Amino acid sequence: MMPMPSIGITCYPSQGGSGVVATELGLHLARRGCEIHFISSQLPFRLHGYDRNIFHHKVEMPTYPVFEHSPYTLSLASAMAEVAAQCELDLLHVHYAIPHAASAYLARQMLLPRRLPIITTLHGTDITLVGKEPSFFPITRFVIEQSDAVTAVSSFLKQETIRVFDCGRDIEVIPNFVDARQFQPRRDTELRARFAPDDRLVLLHASNFRKVKNTSAVVEVFAAAREKVPVTLVMVGEGPELPGVRKLVREKGIQDHVHFLGHIDRLEDVLPTTDVLLLPSWHESFGLVALEAMACETVPIVTDRGGASEFITDGHNGYLRAPDDIEGMVQAIELLAKDPALRLQVAETARRDAAGDFGAGCVVRTYLDLYERVLEHKAG
């Protein structure tokens, strides 16, 4: 058994599935004895204060008149090389191919003749959107091939990566995970009363409000569901589509029934006060918030496009609908509202499946096994 490694982790620090998974992975690894060094532009939003074996290295963003935009990729590469040398990192684990894997490759070249292993975890839009851009396609393919190990958060994303980039290399599927001790079905009756003073169903949407999240459909579904059953809507997050969503809510005259909470660090405090998660995205490589909802016994109604079907079975522990199937999502809400026994059964099944098959312990152990294999191969 090898000693616990010292790992440099780079992710986007803002709210979003890849940053959440990377941060939670680092926290769990640190509790197991790994030394974790986050290398990012800001403190990842799920890091709260000091944690044993956790360190943060801020990437400085220099400004210079000749640069129209600050060269973040180069600054990050320099920071990675510096931290790896000074803190004697055993490997770099980067989340998102562009630009993080590219920066890691540059950092490794700077450290030659020492060869610093790189593990790249693909989360979705780095492949399905960014990687497909003609200007990024060659570099994305290159850094995937140059990584010592590549993981994808779903089988869907693995197959999409192979299809798009014609990859011949191994890609290991390691799914996203949820800490079922952190996300659990505890009711905050005072908070719930703010959303729904009666027994009406509380619907939730949480995202970064990008176009891919199809947020206008959330409003359309909610407005249609209100015509059939008593419901209220809670919207969590911020992003470019938020102003348009607010406008649509006003146009439909339902602003008194929609609660905009903005950015929230601790989604686990809000999720248990809700009944149904609405995630009608045009595409989800995994859909971490759906897994977190399941752990809180909040029933997910999620897009059927992407990787969500790998942990949601329609009608069993949640519901899968096409992102433009407004009527189908409304019918699922109506069914849950009119049949509390069914809603409880689906919610309890969702909690059991999330905690059992996608619990933090098993997934973190899988990552540790991967680190060990990569380091053994380097030593060999």
The full set of domains in the chain, from first to last, is 6-177+359-379 (3.40.50.2000), 189-357 (3.40.50.2000)
Question: Token digits for 318?
Answer: 């949640």
51-71 burial: b if 16+ Cβ within 10 Å, else e: eebbbbbebeeeeeeeeeeee
Question: Token digits for 160?
Answer: 């999409």
* Distances, alpha carbon 311 to alpha carbons 218, 259, 276, 316, 317, in Å: 22, 29, 17, 11, 9
| pLDDT, tens digit (0-9, with 9 covering 90-100), for 127-179 | 766 546 677 888 899 999 999 999 999 999 999 899 888 877 899 999 999 99
Mean pLDDT of 110-131: 84
CB distance 279 to 17 below 8 Å? no
Across 44-53, 161-170, 272-281, the highest mean pLDDT is recorded for: 272-281
Q: Where would I find the H helices in the chain?
A: 17-31, 72-86, 102-110, 125-128, 137-146, 155-165, 189-195, 215-226, 242-251, 288-295, 326-338, 340-357, 360-379
* Omega before 99 within 30 of 0, i.e. cis: yes
| pLDDT, tens digit (0-9, with 9 covering 90-100), for 81-99 | 999 999 999 999 999 888 9
In the predicted structure, residue 250 carries a pLDDT above the cut 90: yes
Distance CA 75, CA 67 (A): 13
CB distance 194 to 224 below 8 Å? no
Q: What are phi and psi of 257, to 5 degrees?
A: -115, 5
3-state secondary structure of 93: strand
- Strand order from edge to edge, sheet including 91-95: 54-58, 35-40, 6-10, 91-95, 118-122, 149-152, 172-173
Name the pTM for this structure.
Answer: 0.90
